[in-house]
Amino acid sequence: MPSALPLADPAPLDGSLPHSASVGAAERDFGVYLHVPFCRVRCGYCDFDTYTATELRGVKQSDYASQAVREVEAGGRILSDSGIPLRQASTVFFGGGTPTLLPAENLVRMLQAVRDTWGLTSGAEVTTEANPDSVDADYLATLAGAGFTRVSFGMQSAVPHVLATLERTHDPARIPLVVQWARDAGLDVSLDLIYGTPGESLNDWRTSLEHAIAQGPDHVSAYSLIVEEGTKLARQIKRGEVPKVDEDHQADLYELADELLAAAGYDWYEVSNWSTDVSHQSRHNLAYWRSQDWWGIGPGAHSHVGGVRWWNVKHPAAYADRIRAGVSPAAGRETLDESTRETERVLLLSRIRAGIPVASLAAGARREVAGLIADELVDARAALSGSIELTLRGRLLADAVVRRLLADRP
């Protein structure tokens, strides 16, 4: 089952936000995340807040769009009542789970609720995640016609035995089909890959990368497999049924990804993300890394507005009960102090290529820069121009870079 929610302060039943959340709001971007917590099967590595049909405790997937719409509408009222200026959504992201398990009309209805409540900026980025076996050409055309601009396919691998270990159900041969259908509909395409699966060789990973690149996506994400406690995969590794994840091998796989993607014309802009150009970077995810504001809709969804962070109850049944009762589904929240916000700023901005302005760092962190350059963790030319940009070695050791930049903080 998914991991437990963090412990924090109780959230008010009316969802109201403190005055501090409104400070500087007009200068921050606003996005909306809609979590669809349903999957046909639970993959053995997955620790996300997702549920199969047998885990729903009487909740109907067919009721979910109406529940999400009600939370969107409530969110608009809460922001207004809390004195936070109205901002149109510049990005909307449907994640999961598998959002495309729902009928396309349900996703369209939820997007319309966002449009009616907050509005969308001109050229807003609207993305949905999708499994390759959960959509067809008509489905994608319906989304595009309603204002979706982008689809992110969970490809993960092109190698059958790797997909089997991950318990992914799609046929790799379907990837070219769904990419072409998305192109025909006028949607931008991202392909999501996972590397470091137990038993995945360097050649296996090369096969997956080459297959992904051959489709000509606008964007590629490549995430290292993290074995989360409590998952089926963690139990399999503990019992010796599958080999442990080898971090050195994962580093080799990452280097191969960067090499092949760069050769194919993809530039990295975040440690795990590459795009063909700036216009195809994931603006929604960049908003997370830049600590902008977003409202999360659905079970287990997280939100952040002006240093106030909260998260919803996890189970769809508990979520439905809260929505039915007309109270906030938030389970807990925290207001970040200045020290925590600075720590998170360094942690998140260090991951993106645009980097951290050296001048914005504390004095102790600035003294670390020369050593980071000498250790080939930070690009010297970028640093001398005033920005912390990770080298390839630095990306592999990003956590160590952050620790050094934060070493003098309490």
Mean pLDDT (whole number) for 81-88: 94
Say which CATH topology domain 337-410 has. Arc Repressor Mutant, subunit A (1.10.10)
Phi/psi for 90 (5° steps) reads -90, -20
Spell out where 37-96 has E strands: 89-96
What percentage of the chain reaches a pLDDT higher than 70?
96
Distance of CA 319 to the CA centre of its chain: 21
**Per-domain residue ranges for the chain?**
19-289, 337-410
Res. 405: pLDDT tops 80: yes
Helix (H) or strand (E) holding 210: helix 202-214
Token couple for 267: 């530039």
Cβ–Cβ < 8 Å for 296, 5: no
- Tens digit of each residue's pLDDT (9 = 90 or more) over 201-211: 999 999 999 99
Distance (Å, whole) CA 213 – CA 265? 10
Cβ–Cβ < 8 Å for 386, 355: no
pLDDT of the residue at 1:
40
Say if residue 145 is preceded by a cis peptide, omega within 30 of 0.
Answer: no
- Tens digit of each residue's pLDDT (9 = 90 or more) over 216-258: 999 999 999 877 677 777 788 788 887 887 889 999 999 999 9
Distance (Å, whole) CA 254 – CA 195? 8
- Tens digit of each residue's pLDDT (9 = 90 or more) over 22-52: 999 999 999 999 999 998 777 666 666 778 8
**CATH code given to domain 19-289:** 3.20.20.70
Q: Is 239 left (phi over 0), alpha (psi -120 to 50) or beta?
A: alpha
Average pLDDT of the chain?
93
* DSSP line for 261-322: HHHTT-EEEETTEEESSGGGS-HHHHHHHTT-EEEEESTT-EEEETTEEEEE-SSHHHHHHH
Distance (Å, whole) CA 302 – CA 344? 16
Candidates 76, 62, 169, 156; CA nearest to 118 is 76
Place of tokens 């769809």: 316
Spell out where 29-119 has E strands: 30-36, 89-96
Helix (H) or strand (E) holding 219: strand 219-224
